[in-house]
Amino acid sequence: MSRSGEVASLSPPMTRQGQFCGVFCPVDGAEGAGLGLDACRGRGRSSGGGTDDRLTETSQPTRKVQIRESRGKEALQNLDHRSDRLLIKGAKIVNDDQSFCADVYMEDGLIKQIGENLIVPGGVKTIDAHGRTLMPGGIDVHTRFQMPDRGMTSADDFYHGTKAALAGGTTMIIDHVVPEPGASLLSSFEQWREWADSKSCCDYSLHMDITEWHRGLQDEMETLVKDHGVNSFLVYLVYKDLFQLTDSQVYEVFSVIRDLGAVAQVHAENGDIVAEEQRRILSQGITGPEGHVLSRPEEVEAEAVNRSVTVANQTNCPLYVTKVMSKSAADVIAQARKRGTVVYGEPISASLGTDGSHYWSKNWAKAAAFVTSPPLSPDPTTPDYLNSLLSCGDLQVTGSAHCPFNTAQRAVGKDDFTLIPEGVNGTEERLALIWDKCVVTGKMDENQFVAVTSTNAAKIFNLYPRKGRVAVGSDADLVLWDPDLTHIISAKSHNSTVEYNIFEGTEVRGGPLVVISQGKIVLEEGTLHVTEGTGRYIPRKPFPDYVYKRIKARSRLAELRGVPRGLYDGPVCDVTVTPKVMTPVSSTKTSPAKQANQANQPSRNLHQSGFSLSGAQVDDNIPRRNTSRVVAPPGGRANITTLG
């Protein structure tokens, strides 16, 4: 089991003296923080938690053990107690805030010690990093493994998907639960848990998509947040008549999300316009994949981003825009951030690594492989632009939206691009792509790289510092990164099951040398040792500090007051009651902003009575007036009818 020698031989050792001063101070601090770390974790996790304790988190611990026994190498790792103990020597630890050289000792899937000359038990497996970069494992915030679509299922299930993720240096994924409209959120959630628990090779968590909206869903959302560790919900502004919500519904969902302390995610495209454009494009006889991008111009994406930012601002709800695919959408997010909106943007591997010119490929299957929504921008300068915004912090996290379909599945839409199942690959390529396009080119440094691939995601979804940081007490999800590695992405060698890779032929510099997930080595010398079903569900608590500190402060400030005025005692024009049917209130079931001061609420429902308020009832208001407004102003009751 000693492969460290080979690893060590790959590059000359790096001197550590230069980074000595101050380098270990935060490490000591991190050690102290490790105690509090368990408190930050998901529900029901005790501080002394070892492997066994964790396994109870997952739904089927027994099955896992069976699987492990059934496989040769993995079984060995599990049988051998020392295999859970791992020491990485001489690594340059890169967090999002700083880099320093230290050794890392891991046990039971947790980082136990960081520092020099660590005292470790004997028989520990040791990797000599020789000064290579050791980073927190990547977190892919957006995957759609095993996603059902019209009776089909996306080609990569949780096993193949997480395997590909690990191969690329990603040690945690957050998948989307897509309930059928009309289905229960909870049962869909359980369904996804079951799929993932039985197949996932790395830790995972789940976002919940809100595919329809009615009042009853609010309770389910609350249950998910409080009992199931879901703290993010996605709404769709697109897929008209299927998933799409109206602005009013989005407003209500966001209000509920804000109250629950979750993060509102949005798939931002204007579904109404897309539907009209699709009709127009089809009527022009364009049925190939190029119709997909023609019917979804990037403006339509930017418009929806702008709209969701507006709704989020109104509801004081943190917003997370998934799949930022175009320059203009990214610009809208950047501008909103400058204005102070709490909004996060997630470009995906596809938008960072390739462009939409391939939709015009003569090879139908190749063109169809690029179909995703929002589409890749035909503007070839888009990836570069998004990488720049990612580097400067205007975009914060990266996902992959990994949801590939194989060619036979895509061919469902061979005569009508609107039927092509949507989704591209990218979970495996994500880290290397960003490293190649951003770090190698000097757009960002290694710390920012860690931030956008891992740390920011952990912070937004309240996994930090358990995930997204190399620190004592954090999970032992690490990547030993080799910046000198180069390889050419190809469908022949990738771990996904689909025939096409949208990054086909792209040469990327940088790649994971060793990947450690849950304290075990899963990638070494390009060899994957993954075990189906070892992935644990990681519950996430609501009210992530990174997001909600500002939101909370704002909600305190945002109290509105009426103006105390004298009673209007002038003439009132007679109105006919019939014509204005205009209902200013969206619906009776709605108005989620009920948290607003109930005490101050007048006993009489004013907006209900507003309609019956005709001249005949002018004096109705006098006895029932809200007390605060009847108070005479200091200068005596104002005579309202005076002019001036």
Cβ neighbours for 283, distance < 8 A, ≥ 6 positions apart: none
Between 55 and 613, whose beta carbon lies closer to other proteins?
613
- Do residues 349 and 387 touch, judged by C-beta distance below 8 A? no
Cβ neighbours for 437, distance < 8 A, ≥ 6 positions apart: 352, 353, 383, 384, 387, 443
Cβ neighbours for 86, distance < 8 A, ≥ 6 positions apart: 105, 106, 107, 124, 125, 126, 127, 476, 516, 519, 520, 521
Between 63 and 414, whose beta carbon lies closer to other proteins?
414
**Please, what is the end-to-end C-alpha distance for the chain in angstroms?**
90
Between 11 and 357, whose beta carbon lies closer to other proteins?
357
The pairs formed by 308-315 with CB atoms below 8 angstroms and a separation of 24 or more are 308/237, 308/250, 308/266, 308/268, 309/333, 309/336, 309/341, 309/343, 311/247, 311/250, 311/251, 311/254, 312/254, 312/264, 312/341, 312/342, 312/343, 313/341, 314/251, 315/251, 315/254, 315/255, 315/258, 315/593
Q: How far is the CB of 449 from other proteins (least distance, A)?
A: 30
- Rounded Cα gap, residues 162 and 196, in angstroms: 10
Between 98 and 248, whose beta carbon lies closer to other proteins?
248
What sign for the dihedral angle of Cα 313, 316, 321, 327? positive
Tokens 């990174």, located at residue: 546
**Residue 102 in tokens:** 């230290």
- Rounded Cα gap, residues 220 and 116, in angstroms: 49
Q: How far is the CB of 359 from other proteins (least distance, A)?
A: 8
**Residue 436 in tokens:** 């190649």
Between 119 and 581, whose beta carbon lies closer to other proteins?
581
Q: How far is the CB of 317 from other proteins (least distance, A)?
A: 12
- Rounded Cα gap, residues 178 and 189, in angstroms: 9
- Rounded Cα gap, residues 414 and 181, in angstroms: 26
Between 279 and 549, whose beta carbon lies closer to other proteins?
279
- Is residue 247 helix, strand or coil? helix
Q: How far is the CB of 635 from other proteins (least distance, A)?
A: 8
Between 374 and 413, whose beta carbon lies closer to other proteins?
413
Q: How far is the CB of 349 from other proteins (least distance, A)?
A: 20
Between 552 and 625, whose beta carbon lies closer to other proteins?
625
What sign for the dihedral angle of Cα 424, 428, 430, 435? negative
Torsions phi, psi for 273 (to 5 deg): -70, -40
Q: How far is the CB of 352 from other proteins (least distance, A)?
A: 18
Between 135 and 217, whose beta carbon lies closer to other proteins?
217
**Residue 554 in tokens:** 């704002």
Q: How far is the CB of 522 from other proteins (least distance, A)?
A: 28
Between 168 and 288, whose beta carbon lies closer to other proteins?
288
Q: How far is the CB of 233 from other proteins (least distance, A)?
A: 18
- Rounded Cα gap, residues 204 and 496, in angstroms: 18
Between 51 and 357, whose beta carbon lies closer to other proteins?
357
Q: What is the DSSP letter of 211?
A: -
Q: How far is the CB of 180 from other proteins (least distance, A)?
A: 7
Q: How far is the CB of 323 from other proteins (least distance, A)?
A: 16
- Is residue 265 helix, strand or coil? strand
Q: How far is the CB of 161 from other proteins (least distance, A)?
A: 19
- Is residue 545 helix, strand or coil? helix
Going from the C-alpha of 329 to that of each of 304, 324, 395, 531, the distances in angstroms are 8, 6, 11, 39
Between 146 and 462, whose beta carbon lies closer to other proteins?
146
Q: How far is the CB of 572 from other proteins (least distance, A)?
A: 4
Q: How far is the CB of 223 from other proteins (least distance, A)?
A: 25
